[in-house]
Structure 1
Amino acid sequence: MIDIEENPQPIGQLCLQLQAMPRDTNAEGAIYSGWLVSQMDLAAAMLARRATRGRVATVSMDSMAFMVPVNVGDCLSVYGNVTDRGRSSLTIKIEVWKPSHEDEDELCKVTDGSIVLVAIDERGRTRSINP
């Protein structure tokens, strides 16, 4: 039996994969946290758009902490999972993972956070989510 603590795995569906490029990093080669937050928001919006079958807008994001550094060239996988559904909103848990430097087959969790998005109509007003 595999101990989940020794072999953690992403939860949710793969929403986005990308590589950290020099333009996304500081002079020391580590990514800007704001860049990663924007990628997490993009992944959540893509998942929410599919789930609501229409336009969405981000309302809030909870705190996040970096568990491992992300450097130039690191390949990131962003996973999303709908954790709550309201009349017009979705809460999506986003996790960012990358391959371990020691073992490319092993994944390391970079960060996670929950993002709340609301479904909007063509005028930018809140709309109900169809079941």
Structure 2
Amino acid sequence: MVLDSDTPAPEGELTLKILADYKSVNSTGDVFGGWVAMQVDLAGEIMAKKVANGRVVTVSIGSMSFMRSVKIGDILSLFTRITEVGKTSIRVVVEAWVEDSEGSAKLTETSMVFVAVDSTGRTRRISDYSA
């Protein structure tokens, strides 16, 4: 990922990287915001599953404001960091960065909450976690 000297670096662990293709765009070539939100949810889930050591479900997603458009061929990189682990829940911050031929820029950021569940979908305790 190429950043110019004025661009802050992403925070967290690179968790998911995906290319925006023709299936993710509207008729004018801009990526749907819902597609970006889906990728954000996937990245958050990947990190939460690591912490929970098993199945998790999304409980909430904070608001997202998009700082630019995303086009076909842009690369979406999602960075995650754990900010809180409770008895059954995990708070994950997800940053989405977009890379195109001109460089990289932050697209959006949100905080998400996941809950650990068992195979029947019932809430379960998270084993000891240390960051």
Scaled by the length of structure 1, what TM-score is found?
0.90
Taking the aligned partners of 1:41 and 1:59, their CA distance within structure 2 comes to: 11
The aligned counterpart of 2:48 is: 48
Report deviation, 1:101.
Answer: 4.2
Report deviation, 1:77.
Answer: 0.5
Identity percentage of aligned residues: 39
- Show CA shifts across 1:66-121 (max 9, x none): 0111001101100100111111001100001122543x3xx200111111000001
Question: Given residue 56 of structure 1, which amino acid in structure 2 is its aligned partner?
Answer: V
User: Please, which runs of 5 or more residues in structure 1 have no aligned partner?
Assistant: none
Report deviation, 1:26.
Answer: 0.4
Taking the aligned partners of 2:70 and 2:39, their CA distance within structure 1 comes to: 13
Taking the aligned partners of 1:52 and 1:22, their CA distance within structure 2 comes to: 34
| Other structure's SS at 2:38 match | helix
Taking the aligned partners of 2:101 and 2:94, their CA distance within structure 1 comes to: 22
User: Please, which runs of 5 or more residues in structure 2 have no aligned partner?
Assistant: none
- Show CA shifts across 1:39-87 (max 9, x none): 1101111111011100000000010000111001101100100111111
Scaled by the length of structure 2, what TM-score is found?
0.90
2:118 is the counterpart of 1:115: no
Report deviation, 1:30.
Answer: 0.4
**CA root-mean-square deviation:** 1.3
| Other structure's SS at 2:97 match | strand
Report deviation, 1:127.
Answer: 0.5
